[in-house]
Amino acid sequence: MPYIKKETSLVKNFIKNGYVIFDVENMNSLNHVKKICQDKVFKILNKKKIKFLKRDILNNFHKYIFNKDLNNFRMEVYSKINSNKNILDKYSKLAKNKLDIICGNELAVQRKINLSIQLPNDNSSLLPIHSDVWSGCSPYEVVLWIPLVDVWSSKSMFIFPKNLNDKIYKNFKKYKDSNTLYKKNKKKIKFLKLKYGQGLIFMH
């Protein structure tokens, strides 16, 4: 019975809020993914003879690259992550039970794990307000997001509260573009706070 109550609570919170924050289910898998990123970042920056604490490299590498180099930098790390033959298995283990409860256990996943990096004070790398469904993804998909460092405020991602999100979609035609949508509702956005070791599943 306690397990059923936890399942019911998880689903209710997901439906009510449009997302759930949870402790990852396998820290060894998360540490494995993080290490792949850390090692690759260190290897890239070590070419420049940069000396700093490797264990905190993901919180500090922005001090050593230029904004104009960010996309090439991101693609090198992205390629390294996805070249690992076990990466999808490692990643799915971070939230397997939660996804089974929310979506069912007959799941399809995208073939590559995406990687997003935004540098401090770099407007060129900011993602505009968006929903994956706008670019053709199924509205029945959910997104699993796992930060590799502690995130909060503008270091994190933001969402609209679920009730506002529902109202926006009911009146979607009145917004001529995503910029207008953002400007009219930016005071209502909510930045999510997660610690390393937590994950997020959300309706996109």
Q: pLDDT tens digit string along 76-122? A: 999 999 998 889 888 988 999 999 998 887 777 788 999 988 888 87
Separation of first and last alpha carbons in the chain: 31
Q: Per-residue pLDDT tens for 112-148? A: 999 988 888 877 666 667 677 667 677 778 889 999 9
Residues 129, 133, 139, 144, CA torsion sign: negative
User: What ranges do the domains of the chain cover?
Assistant: 2-203
Whether residue 8 is predicted with pLDDT greater than 60 in this model: the reply is: yes
Whether residue 52 is predicted with pLDDT greater than 90 in this model: the reply is: no
Q: How many CB atoms lie within 10 A of CB 72?
A: 10
Q: How many CB atoms lie within 10 A of CB 55?
A: 8
Higher pLDDT among residues 193 and 93, named by residue: 193
Tell me how far apart the alpha carbons of residues 31 and 122 are, in angstroms, rounded to a whole number: 28
Give the amino acid at 169: Y
Q: Give the per-residue pLDDT at 63.
A: 85
Residue 144, C-beta contacts closer than 8 angstroms, at least 6 positions apart? 91, 94, 95, 99, 199, 200, 201
Higher pLDDT among residues 20 and 180, named by residue: 20
> Are the CB atoms for 74 and 54 separated by under 8 Å?
no
68-75 average pLDDT score? 91
Residue length, the chain? 204
Q: What predicted TM-score, i.e. pTM, was given to this entire model?
A: 0.86
> Are the CB atoms for 118 and 157 separated by under 8 Å?
no
